[in-house]
Amino acid sequence: MTVLTRFGMALFLIIASLQVYGADHHASTKAFKSIPLSGSVVLLRGKGGNIALIKGEQGLVMVDADYKEMSAALEDVLEGDGGVKNVTYLINTHWHGDHTQGNELVGHHAQIVAHDNVRTRLLTRQEIKLFGMVSEPYPEHALPSLTYSKKLSLFINGESFDIVHFPNGHTDGDSVVFMKESNIVHMGDNFFSGMFPFVDVANGGDVMQMADNVAAVLARIDDDTTVIPGHGTLSDKLGLAEFHEMLVGTTDEVKAMMTAGMTVEQMQSEGLSLDWEDWANGLISADAWIAIIASSLKAS
């Protein structure tokens, strides 16, 4: 078998193993679950990425906006705090639709903040080929109007926000949002709580860099910090540290199998060690995670 043929077969296996993600990406829901956090911060869990809602006299601040189909439910949950028209800022942690499609609703009223690469991607047609997802260009009002390259500070409602770009982890435009006074950090999709993550290798993501990014966040927070994942249940520094350990450990195992000359199919048949079996109980199966790591290592 030629090198090109082996590569094509590996790519096919990666695509096939990731179909589970496309089919079962999120549970079906049309309502948000509201979870009060410290101070004036509320966690909203819907169908897509977790939303942080920060309340105050200067208006509402949102981190992420879920799918477009959740917009009616979002309007309902915001009604008690002055409605969607009271949203002053919306921060997008990255460009994927399960975090940004709600821009179309909220962007009529709020300034949208994101990394430079998020606006660039949302201006043009994007695709996640591994599970056939296409994002058409967003209308002007749904695009980020305030962008940054490395770090942006925002001060509102007595809260200091540090919006920091951690490059090439989940995508090429990831932001982590630190709320200093509340001691809360929203990780975006640099953190899938208690489960294997999706890393968008085709659009700038890298498993090893995600591990480095998580390590950098761990160095900035303390044992009392509340950690909001992009997906999954609310967590803390310990939970984030366990996620980092999983990223490093599983990558080392796949790298060792690749060094031994194993194909993706053979690695999936061999499997990961039992240390990581509980992490497969989420969006991404163990086979899919092995394929993602292999894809990331090949790209590197």
Mean pLDDT within 139-151: 98
Spatial distance between the Cα atoms of 87 and 171, rounded to a whole number of angstroms: 26
| DSSP string across 77-145 | HHGGGT-GGGEEEEE-SSS-HHHHTTHHHHTTTSEEEEEHHHHHHHTS-EEEGGGTEEEPPPPGGGS-S
pLDDT in tens, 91-137: 999 999 999 999 999 999 999 999 999 999 999 999 887 767 899 99
At residue 290, what is the residue type?
I
Spatial distance between the Cα atoms of 223 and 221, rounded to a whole number of angstroms: 7
pLDDT at 29 over 70: no
Question: Residue 148 contacts by C-beta under 8 Å, 6 or more apart in sequence?
Answer: 113, 115, 116, 163, 165
pLDDT at 138 over 90: yes
Largest CA distance in the chain: 66
pTM of the model: 0.91
Spatial distance between the Cα atoms of 296 and 201, rounded to a whole number of angstroms: 6
Q: Report all structural domains of the chain as residue ranges with CATH numbers, in order of start.
A: 3-299 (3.60.15.10)
Model pLDDT, residue 158: 94
